[in-house]
Structure 1
Amino acid sequence: MLFVLGLAMASISLATFVGTVGEAHIGGNTFATDWARSFGACGGGLFIFLSSLVKSHDQMQQLKRWQVVEMALFLIVILLTPFYPSVPGPQVSLALNACRMIIYTCAFVRYATLYVSKSTRFSLIMSLGFLVLVIGYAFNIPGVLQSKLGFMTIIAASVRIIAYVTLLVAYSIG
């Protein structure tokens, strides 16, 4: 399980890094990194969620194989970033944001359900981390719809950092 969780967190971290490099225009790049950021964040969150559903060793092995395939596809997506068009408008940005929110909401509900049934510290911290992530992505919405509310994306990023640290704490003490 640690392999899946570690690779999922690596996917999310790499997606965040690629997105930050794209937004900061480091080295004068004008790459459309939103696609890669969304792919990595969705993939990482999805595999954390799926790992909580696994019931057997064979299922975990299958999940690991699929995650390696997803990670290879993610690396291809990153390499092809210079060829992607920029995000055409707020509707697409909202759709990408909604995908992350849906996956993280599913993970929140799953870990909250696990906490109710097993009352483990790990599931409590994980559910709180995913709840804060959903809130962080919800804070993105005003900034996407109104450019005057761009400060909301900074607040959203700060909230998501807290959420990712919370997930890391859950793995550390879990």
Structure 2
Amino acid sequence: MTNFCSSELLVKRGDKEEPQVGDSSKRVDMSICSWPTIDKTIGLKVCTEYNYMNVTRMDNIPYFLVAGPAGFRCYLHKSDPTAKDYVQTHNVTLLLQSGAGTVLARGKYKNTPDEKFIQVALDINNKKHFDAVASIKRSRIKNGFSYNPLIYLGVNNDKVLKFSGKLIDLSIYTR
């Protein structure tokens, strides 16, 4: 289970902090899961839950984010007991637009036995201000493994650093 974000309101009484739950009649609690066909196809059930205070039903309320406890969670349930391996990949994109311009932040993460990869980027007004990649790939070769590391850093569309190579592990011969 991944708890992406949540908030809570605390009231301090003496030395003790107590969570405030708010008015449950004005609360929105929703959950949704992937379709059974998808569960059977990929062997995973993907579920999402979110909750927040419905500020449209409240008078004299503060800004939405501080109107009460809120949360967003994602769950992965293994629905195929015969499945042994999964590829874990995450993509995140944040786009902020206003009259003054746009900000686009992107991230990608992949974690498998043969590849570790993370990338982050920041574009402001369609100009790449920051780009970073770190990865390593492993390949099986005769009598060992080959590793291909990569590190890249770009700032303001200029390549600041790039390191890549190949390492060959033949430790099978040294045992």
Normalised by the shorter chain, which TM-score bucket?
A: under 0.3
Higher strand share: 2
* TM-score (norm. length: structure 2): 0.22
**Structure of greater Rg:** 2
* TM-score (norm. length: structure 1): 0.22
Higher helix share: 1
Structure with more relative contact order (C-alpha pairs < 8 Å, separation 6 or more)? 1
